[in-house]
């Protein structure tokens, strides 16, 4: 075998053992730890196989039948299959809805939606980041425009009620009447209740705005039909495919087709979103699509139509509610007082714990979550809560009784953080040093981590066995 042939056909574990060692370590971290980041999941073997297939090799700028390169006969069929299954997964009529499966991920998908719907500096309204919204819904601070959405468009946030933690739809209606947005975003990153899409639609209609639903977090729950769907009311819907949907890391945009409204004289006004969305994705913001990811999307949407997938999503919510109830029983404060979906936002201010310390100590005992703003927070960089999700744990087979054990681990970890902070003082750097160097705490952290990892290792991971 020539040197070049050897280079092309050698396994990564033989050719690059240094890299393979890191991949195996990550596999072991996932196996031994409890993955509770609400936006993460473990995808299926079939999706992983699509991602590592020959489809990765092909350039296919443009849409099926309208490519800028030759040799796309079968690539076209893969993309058309993904489009068909995307509509089927949400029970959509292809006469009323179209779909673009080319966005690389959720954030580029959202930027493509804004690019399609409004001109530069057009006005948008999205849920404020500290209140549970997403960066791409227009987040900015008094001194800096953080997201590209707030750089290129004029952004006005809407808020939750500071007491209940629920979206204040009346205040949104009042503010929208003054601001006159062209787009209202119904979407969340850390909000544990179902959205009132009907109310969003009414507010959008009153202001002549498009209703854009970002269902990235909840798209698996919507596909399973266990929470309200945005499709009855929205003009455009975007999603990632790797969260509750359990597919590859990619994005999808759905857009309305057909009649948008009827004028007083009876003339029909038709949607023109198909060309606008497609052109915003390519050539507006992207080049060649990732065909291996599009195949993974097709595989994930096929799985999303099965009874097993619905059972999985039902268990995700059962586990989330069990997690929520357990934390409340332990004395923790939960934003909105409960959850309808896959996540729980814990407000740690009453417990006297910062979000950063909580995230750090939980990671040290092999529980992965993320620090998160809670309603009333002044800084996204120094948040007062943690976000916990159940999709990944549910994929591994955990049920409600297992979540009771998980709650116990979290509670013990957070109590340990308070114990450490009482000695280390207010600085996070000193807290971290105490976790690793203080002889009083090092054995306590290790003992709890060993207990978590022993528990976690009992539950299998989908995918390849060793990597």
Residues identified as active-site: 190, 242
* Residue 285 DSSP label: I
Shortest CA distance to 252 belongs to which of 228, 226, 231, 227?
A: 231
Distance CA 186, CA 353 (A): 31
Is 266:123 a contact under the CB 8 Å cutoff? no
Would you state the structure tokens that stand for residue 163, as one six-digit string? 């007491």
Contacts of 183 (CB under 8 A, 6+ apart): 113, 114, 117, 118, 122, 123, 124, 125, 209, 210, 212
Shortest CA distance to 252 belongs to which of 236, 271, 263?
A: 236
Shortest CA distance to 245 belongs to which of 305, 290, 204?
A: 305
- Per-residue HEC secondary structure of 116-165 comes to HHCCCCCEEEEECHHHCCCHHHCCECCCCECCHHHHHCEEEEECECCCCC
Shortest CA distance to 311 belongs to which of 373, 185, 226?
A: 226
Would you state the structure tokens that stand for residue 152, as one six-digit string? 């290129």
Instruction: Produce one character per residue of 368-381: b if its CB has 16 or more CB atoms within 10 Å, e if not.
Output: bbbbbbbbebeeee
Is 454:448 a contact under the CB 8 Å cutoff? no
Distance CA 249, CA 292 (A): 11
Angle between helices 307-329 and 400-424 (to 10 degrees): 40
**Residues in the chain, overall count:** 467
Contacts of 265 (CB under 8 A, 6+ apart): none
Is 49:354 a contact under the CB 8 Å cutoff? no
Q: Residue 85 class from Cβ within 10 Å (0-12 exposed, 13-18 middle, 19+ buried)?
A: buried
Is 222:233 a contact under the CB 8 Å cutoff? no
Is 391:244 a contact under the CB 8 Å cutoff? yes
For residue 254, what are the β-bridge partners?
99, 237
For residue 346, what are the β-bridge partners?
334, 386
CA angle in degrees (0–180, nearest 5) for 206-207-213: 95
């Amino acid at each position: 075998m020539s040197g070049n042939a050897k280079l092309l056909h050698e396994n990564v574990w033989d050719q690059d053992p240094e890299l393979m060692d890191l991949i195996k370590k990550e596999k072991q971290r996932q196996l031994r730890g409890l993955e509770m980041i609400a936006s993460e999941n473990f995808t299926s073997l079939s999706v992983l196989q699509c991602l590592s297939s020959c489809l990765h090799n092909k350039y296919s700028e443009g849409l099926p039948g309208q490519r800028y390169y030759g040799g796309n006969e079968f690539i076209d069929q893969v993309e058309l299959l993904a489009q068909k299954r995307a509509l089927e997964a949400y029970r959509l009529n292809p006469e009323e809805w179209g779909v673009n499966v080319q966005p690389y991920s959720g954030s580029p998908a959202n930027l493509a939606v804004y690019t399609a719907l409004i001109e530069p500096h057009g006005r948008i309204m999205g849920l404020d980041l500290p209140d549970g919204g997403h960066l791409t819904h227009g987040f900015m601070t008094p001194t800096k425009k953080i997201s590209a959405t707030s750089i290129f468009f004029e952004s006005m946030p809407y808020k939750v009620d500071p007491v209940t933690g629920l979206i204040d739809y009346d205040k949104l209606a009042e503010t929208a009447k003054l601001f006159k947005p062209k787009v209202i975003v119904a979407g969340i990153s850390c909000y544990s209740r179902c959205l009132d899409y009907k109310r969003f639609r009414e507010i959008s209609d009153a202001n002549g705005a498009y209703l854009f639903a970002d269902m990235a977090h909840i798209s698996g729950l919507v596909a399973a039909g266990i929470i309200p769907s945005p499709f009855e009311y929205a003009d455009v819907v975007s999603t990632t495919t790797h969260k509750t949907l359990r597919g590859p890391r990619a994005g999808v945009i759905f857009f309305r087709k057909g009649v948008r409204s009827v004028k007083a004289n009876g003339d029909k006004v038709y949607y023109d979103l198909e060309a606008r969305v497609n052109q915003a994705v390519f050539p507006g913001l992207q080049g060649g699509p990732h065909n291996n990811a599009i195949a993974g999307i097709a595989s994930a949407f096929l799985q999303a139509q099965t009874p097993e997938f619905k059972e999985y999503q039902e268990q995700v919510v059962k586990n989330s509610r069990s997690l929520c109830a357990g934390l409340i029983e332990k004395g923790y404060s939960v934003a909105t007082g409960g959850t309808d979906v896959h996540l729980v936002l814990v407000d740690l201010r009453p417990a006297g714990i910062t979000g950063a310390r909580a995230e750090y100590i939980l990671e040290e005992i092999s529980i992965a979550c993320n620090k998160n703003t809670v309603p009333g927070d002044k800084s996204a960089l120094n948040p007062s809560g943690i976000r916990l999700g159940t999709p990944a744990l549910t994929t591994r087979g955990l049920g409600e009784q297992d979540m009771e054990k998980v709650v116990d681990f979290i509670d013990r970890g957070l109590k340990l953080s308070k114990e450490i902070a009482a000695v280390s003082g207010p600085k996070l750097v000193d807290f971290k040093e105490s976790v690793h160097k203080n002889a009083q705490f090092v054995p306590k952290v290790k003992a709890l981590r060993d207990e978590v990892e022993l528990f976690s290792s009992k539950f299998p991971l989908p995918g390849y066995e060793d990597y």
